[in-house]
Structure 1
């Protein structure tokens, strides 16, 4: 398998393919990656560590700056230097010569994970021509464009497969931002569901406290994971699938069986809350405040009370005129309006009560004029600034302060608004891509450097529910978290940190310093790489949810060719700690006794190793 990229996702993906799935990997990176320190992409797995040892050694003998290259003799053997498949090729961009030298013509799958959409698309078109049967995985931020590119490349592969060989030349377009955003948003908001959605299927997972887990879990809900026992460090990374890290501390247990759930006293659980049909990828709950300008935002609270008082006075005067003169109620209201607007109809020669009411009506009319003028001016000003960024309103509380409106921050903001969570954004770049989304969703934004004094205070951090720092700078995220903790020691903090080792150290230190506060660190590459790896293996990975520092994958798998699934019932196909069948595509109910046949396509929740075993 070939992985082409320029950042930590490429390294993490290469380690995932080699260490978890045992695949041979060729990594194509820019030339400066050889001298720079590779990002730390995981905890000590012997296989992934060996991969980086081999690829760094291989890089010493590889060339190809700006074009193609070939390993020198002695790296992997003179006869076939790609014998082990674990090589690093250096190239400034994935040109046709580079892809050919990297072995794309003989590869099973190619992942293009550059940060630039155009680079990935151009390389995908070249790769599809070099190898029509190649399995392609693209990293694209533009989702609509990604759908069109996926259809185009699949059509090319279908036309090229004229002999009906049936090669798995699929094309999968993924976004690391879309994969990581649900987990980041769910971590920041206690009690919200973790959602994985694709095509017509909606999977909803929710965390339940210890009192509801175990035997008390409602019927029909399956337990996806048991969380760490209270007092256990969820940042530790022991062997996957074990219930202890060797020191007696319980770790999160993914996909436990019923007996484990019954014996899991005192441990919270993540359970499947709903598997139902959805109206498509955009059928999630709509964000509030998206359409139109609400009436309440046109006029201030004080002005609305003034208008209401004036209307009440007019009604009272009309009723008084009706009672004093005996005039028909509609005529009394009409005469009151004439008096109110000083239209010449003096009550000369009429009763004293009528004359007094006319004078009072004229006085109320004089008082009403400045109120009407203020309403017109305020409404015009509101419409004029409707496209401008909103400021955090007074008295706002219980919201999430979101730092950074880049690719990840924009997706997280959209997810939070779909969940109905109030958000205040902080962004230093006035040209950030997420500002347009914040303006459309009418989300308050504070423009300023979060490291400067007073910026977080403007975002009402002292009354916030959580701080979600997802800027591209680790030091900025850490500084903001530390400053926010000085303002609110019990504030829930979620950090996006690039380096896993650094994230673990920060988590443990903050937990020790603030034992009563919740701190979580998340790496986007850590959350996204399993989905990209699963897609390279030919499975439609629908999404992933974070279970503390582990990842649970959701994938659609064809039953045909899988002896672990074919001919078995849904209950028999379950393997604790590896995978669980959640539903059949196209059906909203899946009975445990249903027998899986060759034509079925099932949705499974699986660990990374479990998904590899399904091969």
Structure 2
């Protein structure tokens, strides 16, 4: 396996392949002082080896499966190849011609695309896993590279490719979990067979109530999830931590614990919150302030009242009475000389209302002009805002989390130091209140109304910045809910214990983007179709499509017998005939395509799995590794 990159995702991915899947890994990292077109400057081999060793040691303690008799222990530390630029010569030196899979996880999309095109020419049968932020570009790239593989090697059937090219985004994988830490009730979506499946966190049922299991119960949440003094579980949690894929008995006995339940929702993608200037015209509330609207409404009511009074006192036709009032209002003449006193008084009042109309008209014109001129400017947090989420950081991760919160209808105030950050155009388009400034400087969080916020999401790429922001926010509001993006598990635990001791009545949670994303990338490199990954606290549950043929743990067994609590569970069966199956279950069905045969989600426990079947399984990282059955026999032997 070859992994190209030099950030936390690359090192966690390499450690995942080595510790969980027992694979030999070559890690290609940029050299110190590498040019900008490749990757930001990195310390090179020494830093890569040291960081990988630390990550690998942590994963060995956490998730590595025990070495079974006859198996060899994990191979030595991966070969680290340091290079100033990722080109064809470097890929050949890394062994791309004989490799089983190549992961391109640089933070730069262009670098990954260039390397993917070169690798596909060098080895048409190579399994490619590419990290791309651009979703649409990723879909087109998958089709292009699969077609290139079929043209380069006529023996490859593009419809039977074993996940030849997989494009993933760490931001899309981690965003649902990060958004869920800010507010309860969020969900994670998995796409399969054109159907959207949602994993919903459910609170413990009240006494006497029966919880709805949905399609199946995927996980039991930590017993202390909603307890401020309780620590969320990680890979090293005990019985009180989250339990993935529990059996029915464990679910029944786990009273008082929340669950994550899988349920089908619809065949359509979730809608996004419309922008304030979407549609045919801008809404009135965006053009004029509330105070100005009330003033205009009051003036209009006064004019109508004067018109009614004129009609009643003069006996004129209502339209003629309103016409006289408007003449008086706009000062167009026709003084009421010699008229009844009632008419004269009404004319004086109408003239006074006309004097009030002039400044209001000017104010309305200036407000409308200012609104259109500042449509592309950053919006400031409105007065009286409360119950919102303060989102710190508008990079790739922060932008995706912002979209998740917007889809859920959660009010957000963003804080960003860099005016050229990736998410700045997004907040302009969505008109999200944003504060530009260094969060460590006094007054920045106050401008974001942190003292009236519901939660703080600190999602910058610097752990210390996130920690400093959390400490400052807690000083402004001790009971604030805080979620931190922290890479290192041990550092996250230390931060949690410190914040809990200082503020025992407030909820503190932490997430690692690379920890959430690495299992999906590793599963794709192993050659099985990964449909999605659902984060459960600091753990990850994977969904994969597997052929039953050759799987000794599945073939010939019933659905109930194939279930391994804490490892894997068969949740769906592809009822489509083998010759008519689509290679990618995550894509929606084309219009007019027969939908009668597809995935069957309500499987009978006694159904016997046949070799020709294809199933969808939910699996833990360790469980997926066991299902894939990758074991090194001897050096240079068959695998």
Do both share a fold (TM > 0.5)?
A: yes
Match among 177, 185, 188 for residue 183 of structure 1: 177
Gaps of 5+ in 1: 52-82, 239-243
Partners in 2 of 1:263 and 1:4 — Cα distance? 45
Contact 1:288 1:441 in 2 (8 A): yes
The aligned counterpart of 1:271 is: 261
CA 1:261–1:437 in 2, change beyond 3 Å: closer, same or farther?
same
TM-score when normalising by structure 1: 0.87
Compute the displacement of 1:502 (Å): 1.4
Matched with 1:15 is: 15
Which of the numbers 303, 307, 311 marks the counterpart of 1:318?
Answer: 307
Q: CA deviation at 1:367?
A: 1.7
Query: How many residue pairs are counted as aligned between the two chains?
Result: 573
Q: Which residue is equivalent to 1:202?
A: 196
1:256 matched residue in structure 2 = 246
Runs of at least 5 residues in structure 2 that lack an aligned partner in the other structure: 32-42, 66-74, 574-584, 586-594, 629-639
**1:134-145 matched pairs, under 5 angstroms:** 134-145=126-137
Structure 1 residues 565, 293: closer, same or farther in 2, change over 3 A? farther
Q: Aligned-pair distance for 1:221?
A: 4.5
**1:579 Cα shift?**
2.2
- Is the partner of 2:415 in helix, strand or coil? strand
Mapping of residues 125-274 of structure 1, within 5 Å: 125-164=117-156, 168=162, 170-197=164-191, 200-211=194-205, 216-230=210-224, 233-238=231-236, 245=238, 249-272=239-262, 274=263
CA contact (8 A) 2:222 2:233 kept: no
Q: Output the CA distance in 1 between the equivalents of 2:519 and 2:324.
A: 76
Residue 467 of structure 1 deviates from its aligned partner by 0.5
Aligned counterparts, 1:539-550, within 5 A: 539-550=528-539
Write the distance in 1 (CA, Å) between the matches of 2:153 and 2:284: 59
Task: Check conservation: 1:14, 1:27, Cα contact below 8 A.
Answer: yes
Task: Report the Cα offset of residue 357 of structure 1.
Answer: 1.8
Matched, 1:284 2:282: no
Deviations 1:552-597 (A, max 9, x none): 1123334555455556665554332122334456658622328566
1:287/1:417 contact within 8 Å kept: no
Structure 1 pair 49–563 and aligned structure 2 pair: CA distance change class (3 A): closer
Structure 1 partner of 2:627: 614
Match status 1:336 vs 2:330: no
Matches within 5 A, 1:541-580: 541-562=530-551, 564-565=553-554, 571=560, 573-580=562-569
Query: Residue 236 of structure 1: CA displacement?
Result: 4.9
SS of residue matched to 1:188: coil
The whole-number CA distance in structure 2 between the counterparts of 1:304 and 1:50 is: 64
Which residue does the alignment assign to 2:590?
Answer: none
Q: Is the 8 A contact 1:489 1:514 kept in 2?
A: yes
- Asked whether the 8 Å contact 2:4–2:106 carries over to 1, the reply is yes
Q: Deviations over 1:31-64 (max 9, x none)?
A: 433222416436634489999xxxxxxxxxxxxx
Following superposition, the deviation at residue 551 of structure 1 comes to 1.2
Change (3 A) 1:480 1:219: closer
Cα offset for 1:13?
A: 0.5
1:164: Cα distance to partner?
Answer: 4.8
**Larger relative CO (CA 8 A, sep 6+): 1 or 2?**
2
Q: State the Cα deviation string for residues 240-283 of structure 1 (Å, max 9, x = none).
A: xxxx73xxx522110111111001122222222x3133334xx4
Aligned equivalent of 1:65: none
- 1:385 paired residue among 374, 378, 381: 374
Match of 1:593 in 2: 604
CA contact (8 A) 1:177 1:407 kept: yes
d(CA) in 1 for partners of 2:64, 2:480: 40
Pick which of 449-458 and 262-271 moved more. 262-271
Structure 2 Cα separation of the partners of residues 508 and 85 of structure 1: 32
